[in-house]
Amino acid sequence: MSKIQVSLKKSVDQSYEIFLKTDYLKRLIVDLKKNKWGNKYALICDSKVRRLYGNELAEKLRKAGVKIEVFSFQEGERNKTLKTVERLIEAMSKNEFFRDDAIIALGGGVTGDVAGFVSSIYMRGIPYIQIPTTLLSMVDSSVGGKTGVDTSYGKNLIGTFTQPEKVYINVNFLKTLPKKQMLNGVGEAIKYGVIADKKVLGLLRRNKDKIMDLNVKVLERLVSMCIKIKARIVEIDEKESEVRKILNYGHTFGHAIEKISRYKIQHGEAVAIGMCMINTIAVNKKWLKPKKAEKITSIIKMYGLPTKYEKLKSASKLLEATKLDKKMKDGKILYIVPYKIGRVLLTEKITNRDIIKACKKHS
């Protein structure tokens, strides 16, 4: 029998620019015309963002000569599902979108994940652009190429790594963001300060009022610091084989808490609780000094983010919810644990008993 070799060694440049300015629209129009990522564009957003920004943006782009159609879905994490993806794909098919067309994701983390996932599978892949409208998506999810949807078993269990063509960040979108959603993004920003750069925590501590009052200069500084950290990590490890895992600090317990609450607790809130829990375990195991843990907790409390969740009294629910964690390998979960601010370690040496003790403290 003859041996047939299929050689697929290749080098692909997926580099892209993140444009962080309030006057993003002029650059967007120029780029759409110059780069021709698509002959026409599917602007995907949720129902709320469509009303606030989607229809208006589409009309401005049409006046500039860009062919565009708006497709929306009901807002909320509960709609981050394969059913939503199927409906969007059917609507795009009905409107005759082809392989030489592209997607614009306008919205928060849910929209970015859904639209990015659609772009990776529609016609076996078409380009997409990210325009985040929430603080959470600006500091984190719009950069790095993670896409996906949830299942009844867990968060983001179906997805792809698909890098956008470009990311346009305009902090003025935050003017219509509820305070609760702003805090959602602060939770992720705190994560970056703990895992990589204590200067982020310093900025958060000194500028709470300016951040919550939507000071453009401070917000752009915060967003820039966070996405620079993420960009460096993604450049080293795009597919989360090792280094990129540190971005999941607080997320193993956070995702489980989201699931237990049926997504009534928002992502940033759940991550805040998750960070406090893993910090407690780290202190108990003498990996992290109590004063360092308290310093992190103090910033979480300063912004009014939660540190406890009453349903953690039943640790069995949390343990069950972590079984399908994507960091699971050989039956063990890899936990991201800070040993000082700005430095973390990756360990499997956390037992159910450690988790049960942390649940008691944070319920």
Catalytic residue chosen out of the listed positions 48, 244, 326, 362: 244
Q: Helix or strand or coil: residue 331?
A: coil
Which residues lie closer than 8 Å to 133 by C-beta, 6 or more apart? 49, 53, 106, 107, 108, 173, 174, 177
Catalytic residue chosen out of the listed positions 255, 259, 326, 362: 255
255 a catalytic residue = yes
240 a catalytic residue = yes
Catalytic residue chosen out of the listed positions 48, 80, 146, 362: 146
Alpha-carbon torsion (43, 145, 332, 186), positive or negative: negative
What values do phi and psi take at 91, rounded to 5? Answer: -65, -40
Catalytic residue chosen out of the listed positions 188, 258, 259, 269: 188
Q: Helix or strand or coil: residue 333?
A: strand
Pairing of strands 335-340, 343-347: antiparallel
Catalytic residue chosen out of the listed positions 191, 245, 251, 362: 251
Catalytic residue chosen out of the listed positions 75, 77, 165, 240: 240
Catalytic residue chosen out of the listed positions 191, 267, 326, 362: 267
362 a catalytic residue = no
Catalytic residue chosen out of the listed positions 248, 258, 279, 362: 248
Catalytic residue chosen out of the listed positions 9, 34, 124, 353: 124
DSSP 251-284: HHHHHHHHHHTTT-S-HHHHHHHHHHHHHHHHHH
Catalytic residue chosen out of the listed positions 48, 166, 230, 362: 230
Q: Contact, 223 vs 170, CB < 8 A?
A: no
220 a catalytic residue = no
146 a catalytic residue = yes
Residues involved in catalysis: 124, 146, 188, 230, 240, 244, 248, 251, 255, 267
